[in-house]
Amino acid sequence: MSVQEELLTSNQTVCYHCGEDLGKEQLDFDNHLFCCQGCKTVYDILKDNGLGNYYDLESSPGLKVKEVEISDRFAFLDNPKIQQKLLNYADDQLGRVIFFIPTIHCSSCIWLLENLYKLQKGIRYSRVNFMKKELSLDFDPSILSLRQLLELLTSIGYEPNISLSDDGKPKKVRKDRSLYIKIGVAGFCFGNIMMLSFPEYFGFEGTIDNHIRHFITYINLVLSLPIIFYCSSDYFISAWKSLRQAYINIDVPISLGILVLFLRSAIEVLWNVGPGYFDSLAGLLFFLLVGKWFQQKTYDSISFDRDYKSYFPLAISRMKGEEVENVPVNDLKVGDEILVRNRELIPADGILVSQEARIDYSFVTGEAEPDSKSKGDYIYAGGRQLGQTIRLIIQKEVSQSYLTSLWNSDVFVKEGEDQHQNLINRISKYFTLVVLVIAFLAATFWWIVDSRLALQVFTAVLIVACPCALALSTPFTLGSISRLFGRHRLYLKNSHVMEKLASIDSIVFDKTGTITDAKDQSIHFEGVQLDKLDKQLIQSLVSQSTHPLSRKIDGFLKQEGAKGFMVEHYIEEEGQGISGRVNGIEIRLGKLSYVALRNNSDRIYLDSRDKSTSIYVAFEKETRGRFLLSNSYRKGLKPLVDQLKNYFSLALISGDNNGEKETLASIFPPQTDLQFKQSPSDKLEYIRKLQQKGKKVLMVGDGLNDAGALKQSDVGIAVTGDIMAFSPACDAILDASRFEDLFNFIRLSLIGKRIIIASFVISFLYNIVGLMFAVSGNLSPVFAAVLMPLSSLTVVIFTSGMAKLMGSRYLKS
């Protein structure tokens, strides 16, 4: 061991294997420190098998090994039917399988997984695809069963993600290689046509025989056939599809350009009047396809960000012994026990441990009536629990993509939202018409002046006006900006939201949980003194609810120890309160009107003059007192409002009473509409009224009791803090810590829109230059071949560069 390594080891504060903090139970083994038995075991296995190299490539490359009982977990893999689904190929000697292993993250992973054969007899070959995080394995089924293979991978910390889709075969996502082939073919034809056109470029007309020149142009014609029939097929198909739906997309003018270019060149060659534009045609296709490939790469890397960088800031309450801890949704593992409170989303498939549950699957099935489930039932992800908190044992890994698709489900598509009506398609409709008109006008003009040139000019216009740069600008800009937003914790449902965000003119805020910060609230109780048991009873009730005020009271009462009594008949009424039978005692919590059913005015505290929110408590219909919560507003609220008030009309709607009106009036500008005592349906109605006045409304809420308003609004942003109830009704999720940046987000989406318009201008300028040459009859093939890809390239560099520059100016990380 070298000196440096020795030094490193002696000062080691993190686990040699996984790089996590050593914690209390550190283990010293073989001069290295480990955080747990699991990591030590993996080190031991690797070292015994001569795989110590694993630790030389990267420091602490390993993965924390969860000490889970794996004895029976993969027993299902002994089932031949399941094996058949997983294996790509199987006979007596050879099994071939591809696993998706999300934990592959560094070069040590590649090394270890590709040296598996040293670790285990029976593994013949293993190969890692790092980009896709896939491991392909060949193994000998007579020595090693599939189950043993999985257990081996799991024991060293690389647990494959096995998904047995219902339709039989595991999804075989073969990447389409045809684009590469098409680029290759186009490049081949482009290069050869260019080479054969050299005599034309340099004007060697006198030096070559005429019949050789002919021969060369015929070769060019032959070389251009694969371009037309193979490389351009995607454009033709897409254009044809859109024409059949009586609608012009961006591929229509592109296809038109390609077709005209080819026909004209072919006619020139066959009629023996000129060399044609085969070089431009091949070059055009080559650059178009390269652009498409680049675009696909960018999209891939965006979807990569989406999948792996915790696209949803969704936290789950997981049981750790008797404690509850909040973990990001991605950390959930099969076998974890989780709590799902009232109105929370079920993040993954699981088995119900609690006695009963009522699950609302309206997001998934559209069915409004909740399903009743009882203990031991299998519950699918995507539903929402109604009523008391339930416990589940997770059976399947969380699928981010499933949650994303849920968010994008048709149920939540806003009325009047038409996918086709985005900017680019609106423009392309007129674009094609304008180009055709110009082409006809120019052709008519030349028909009169010099009829020989008429057809040439007509086709030249169509060729040079090809809108490839136009097609690239929108996806590149929207893509880079939504990516930027995600990095700063504003998660957009899709890039369409950004276009809408740029057009809003009014902002409506919800109060509780949105502009107030539940964490900094001070709280006290007044009324009949509560003893310890009372507090535990109330705590058990409030722990069922996800409402910010309930969370707050929960935290307050928990300080004296929680007991976790059984809660029956739990009911939560939006904007009113919660009630339930705890340990046989009926407890109601909430607004005075909700709690005080019986007239026992001697105990009622009607004083609502002070600036706090009051939550009343009743035991068996007898009012015991109230919790007083003084609101504290989110950091940065005042500066944010000051920024926003110059550009937008603001409004505030709150479910609470007007106790805080004065404070709010001092924060918000005088003309702000402050509405109090609004029920969830009032909020929705309020938004609708604003929209009827022609306003474009941004609703900022917490996604709990304003889901309807979020959905109704043009853009609905849910602000989420530590406990996050996922609300598919919103268009974007904003992490509460970035609340103060709201104005900058809106500003950036405006800038995004301007970038798109600017790039349109750039590509139009290119087109105008090209058109001027074309109309005047001077469009040389070389010029066309250079101009077209140049315009695409400029637009791509401009859009992604500007988005990055503006992002770093307005959003500080």
Partner 1 sequence: MSVILVLIGLSVGVAIIFLASFFWAVKSGQYEDTYSPSVRMLFEERKDKEPKKGK
* Residues lying near partner 1 in the complex (CB under 8 A): 1-2, 47, 49-53, 57, 107, 110-111, 114, 128-132, 175, 177, 180-181, 184-185, 188, 191-192, 195-196, 208-209, 212, 215-216, 219
| CB 712, min distance to partner 1, A | 46
Closest distance between partner 1 and the C-beta of residue 187, in Å?
8
Please, what is the minimum distance in Å from the beta carbon of residue 132 to partner 1? Answer: 7
**Residue 594 and residue 209: Cα distance in Å, rounded?**
100
- Smallest distance from partner 1 to CB 270, Å: 20
Phi, psi of 393 (to 5 degrees): -105, 125
Q: Give whichever of 104 and 394 is closer to partner 1, judged by the CB atom.
A: 104
CA distance 197 to 203: 10
Residue from 637, 646, 700 nearest 507 by CA: 700
The amino acid at residue 1 is M
- Determine whether 386 is exposed, middle or buried from the number of CB atoms within 10 Å of its CB (0-12, 13-18, 19+): middle
Which is nearer to partner 1, 198 or 247 (by Cβ)?
198
Nearer to partner 1, 52 or 561 (CB): 52
Asked whether the beta carbons of 46 and 156 are under 8 A apart, the reply is yes
CB 295 → partner 1: shortest distance, Å? 16
Taking the complex as a whole, how short is the minimal distance between the CB of residue 483 and partner 1, in angstroms?
A: 20
Cβ distance to partner 1 smaller for residue 89 or 812: 89
Burial 536-566 (b: 16+ CB within 10 A, else e): bbbbbbbbbbbbbbbbbbbebbeeeebeebe
CA distances from 569 to 354, 471, 564, 578 (A): 14, 57, 16, 10
Residues 6+ apart with CB under 8 A from 71: none
Choose between 184 and 561: whose C-beta lies nearer to partner 1. Answer: 184
Read off the tokens for 760. 């349109």
DSSP label of 171? P
Q: Which CB sits closer to partner 1, 220 or 514? A: 220
Instruction: Name the residue nearer to partner 1 (CB basis): 6 or 67.
Output: 6
By C-beta, is 107 or 303 nearer to partner 1?
A: 107
Q: Which is nearer to partner 1, 75 or 181 (CB)?
A: 181
Nearer to partner 1, 220 or 539 (CB): 220
Angle between helices 423-449 and 468-487 (to 10 degrees): 160
Q: Cα dihedral sign for 767, 770, 773, 776?
A: negative
CB of 107 to partner 1, least distance (A): 4
DSSP secondary structure code for residue 633 in this structure: B
Min dist CB 231 to partner 1, Å, is: 13
Helices (H), 502-614: 532-542, 548-558, 592-595
**Minimum CB separation from partner 1 for residue 230, in Å?**
13
Do the beta carbons of residue 508 and residue 672 sit within 8 Å? no
Strand locations in 444-566, DSSP E?
Answer: 490-492, 506-510, 522-527
- Tell the smallest beta-carbon distance from residue 19 to partner 1 (Å): 19
If the CB atoms of residues 199 and 555 are measured against partner 1, the closer one turns out to be 199
Dist CA 42 CA 294 (whole Å): 41
Report, in Å, the least distance between residue 111 CB and partner 1: 5
CB neighbour list of residue 10: distance below 8 Å, 6 or more residues apart = none
